[in-house]
Amino acid sequence: MYSTFAVFGIFGGTFVNKLGVKWTLAFGGVGYCIYAISLLVSVHASVAGFNIFAGVWLGICAGLLWTAQGTIMISYPNEKQKGKYFAWFWGIFNMGAVIGSLIPLGENIHIKTNITVSDGTYIGFIVLMACGAILALFLCNASDVVRDDGSRVILMKNPSWKSELVGLWETLRFQPFVVLLFPMFFVSNWFYIYQNNAMNGAYFNTRTKALNSLLYWLSQIIAAAIFGYLLDVQGVARSVRAKITWGVLFVLTFAIWGGGYAFEKRYTRENVKIIVPNGFDWSDSGYVGPMFLYMFYGFYDAAWQASIYWYVTASQILHSITC
């Protein structure tokens, strides 16, 4: 999934420019629906081929969907509203995850062991994803969007593959410092697998996993609001805001992941089922620490993502001035 996601993410802008934002979003949403269907089927039968296909297809669709989403979030607002738009998008986006966490939490709230979530949980996700893909078709066309200051959104029309590659090369040529952001891009989705599988999935029981997920996504909403609005503060120079944000991220990285390292030393993949055979429960002594750690993981993710999107818009502005 992530392999195809990375490849198609590079060329996602071409599809957005050719198909339009709403059609690209709708097409991208289909992949998530098919992926959820493959997970549901795999509960009842061995369908490794279908699972692999669904992962590959989801990677393709995700590359397009997130490029279209980024186009809306970065291109639609004016310069003074970039952070605010991120905050609102990230809040709405994570409300879906909050609802998704409430479903298994409500179904398993009285069960203290590890069990597979019900078919109803999968079906609920599938229905929501299908509705999301369809609703994308009702978005306003970018050409019809008028900002508060009367300006309009301008997107490139009918570009070729060659023009996209040339544009990428020109960006790197005129703004080589953009390359220094690549490590941030590289890391942005890295920690999801560890946090979801090696920590939450491995150490806790079903109902506690659901509670942790709920708190994780709520923390994302809070962090998005804080960082999004602070990044738009106009009384401070953009360069100063960038340096302050970098410093805050630096401190958060060592504080939160330092705590994660301390927690990780409790168990390994080999002995976790011996240490917590039924999964660690929220009623067990010592749960508060891991709970807050997982919440701060979510907080950190939103702070990181907000900074990446904001830095990219800053690079765009600088590139236009240089040209």
The Cα-based distances of 89 to 81, 98, 131, 274 in angstroms read 12, 14, 18, 42
| Range in 43-47, 248-252, 307-311 with the lowest mean pLDDT | 307-311
Compute the Cα dihedral for 109, 122, 297, 89 and give only its sign: negative
What is the reported pLDDT for 112?
A: 72
- Let me know if residue 192 belongs to a domain: yes
Whether the per-residue pLDDT at 294 is higher than 90: the answer is: yes
State percent of the chain over pLDDT 90: 38
pLDDT digits (tens, 9 = 90+) for 146-172: 887 778 777 666 567 677 678 777 877
Predicted confidence (pLDDT) per residue in 214-249, tens digit = 999 999 999 999 999 998 888 888 889 889 999 999
Q: Quickly tell me which residue has 């570009």 as its tokens.
A: 159
For residue 178, name the pLDDT band (cuts at 50, 70, 90).
confident
Give the span between the Cα atoms of 193 and 179, in whole angstroms: 25
From CA 195, how far away is CA 90, in angstroms rounded? 19
Residues 6+ apart with CB under 8 A from 220: 90, 94, 97, 298, 299, 301, 302
pLDDT at position 322 over 50: no
Q: φ and ψ at 152, to 5 degrees?
A: -115, 160
pLDDT value of position 128 = 86
pTM of the model: 0.81
The answer to the question of residue 179 being in a domain is: yes
In a domain, 24, yes or no: no
Number of domains in the chain: 1
**Mean pLDDT across 17-42:** 90
What's at 318, amino acid-wise?
L
Residue pair 78/71 in contact (Cβ under 8 Å)? The answer is no
Model pLDDT, residue 315: 55
What pLDDT, on a 0 to 100 scale, did the predictor assign at position 156? Answer: 64
Residue 21 located in a structural domain: no
Please check whether residue 69 lies inside any domain of the structure: no
Is the predicted pLDDT of residue 288 greater than 80, yes or no? yes
Rounding to the nearest 10 degrees, give the CA dihedral for residues 238, 258, 180, 304: -50
Give the torsion through C-alpha atoms of 175, 181, 186, 189, to 10 deg. Answer: -120
pLDDT tens-digit series, residues 36-75 = 999 999 989 999 999 999 999 999 999 999 888 888 887 7
pLDDT at residue 316 above 80? no
> Can you tell me which residue has the tokens 């393709």?
60
Print burial letters for 58-75: b (CB count within 10 Å at least 16), e (below 16): bbbbbbbbbbbbbbbbbb
Query: What is residue 183's predicted lDDT score, i.e. its pLDDT?
Result: 83
The pLDDT of residue 317:
47
Q: Is the pLDDT of residue 103 over 90?
A: no
Q: In sequence order, which residues have a C-beta less than 8 Å from that of residue 187 and are 6 or more positions away?
A: 304
pLDDT at 323 > cutoff 60: no
Tell me the CA distances in angstroms from 128 to 69, 103, 268, one per residue in order.
18, 12, 35
Please tell me the predicted confidence (pLDDT) of residue 115.
66
Q: Would you say residue 276 lies in a domain? A: yes
More confident residue, 296 or 315: 296
Least confident span in 19-23, 33-37, 207-211, 295-299? 19-23
Look up the domain containing 160 and give its range.
Answer: 76-322
The most confident of 106-115, 129-138, 187-196, by mean pLDDT: 129-138
Percentage of residues in the chain with pLDDT exceeding 70? 93
What pLDDT sits at residue 61?
A: 94
Residue 3 included in any domain: no
Q: Is residue 221 part of a domain?
A: yes
| Lowest mean pLDDT segment, chosen from 111-115, 120-124, 127-131 | 111-115
Burial tier of 81 (Cβ tally within 10 Å: 0-12, 13-18, 19+):
middle
Given a cut of 90, whether residue 177 has pLDDT beyond it is no
Tell me the pLDDT of the chain averaged across its residues.
85
Nearest-angstrom CA–CA distance, 83 and 226: 10
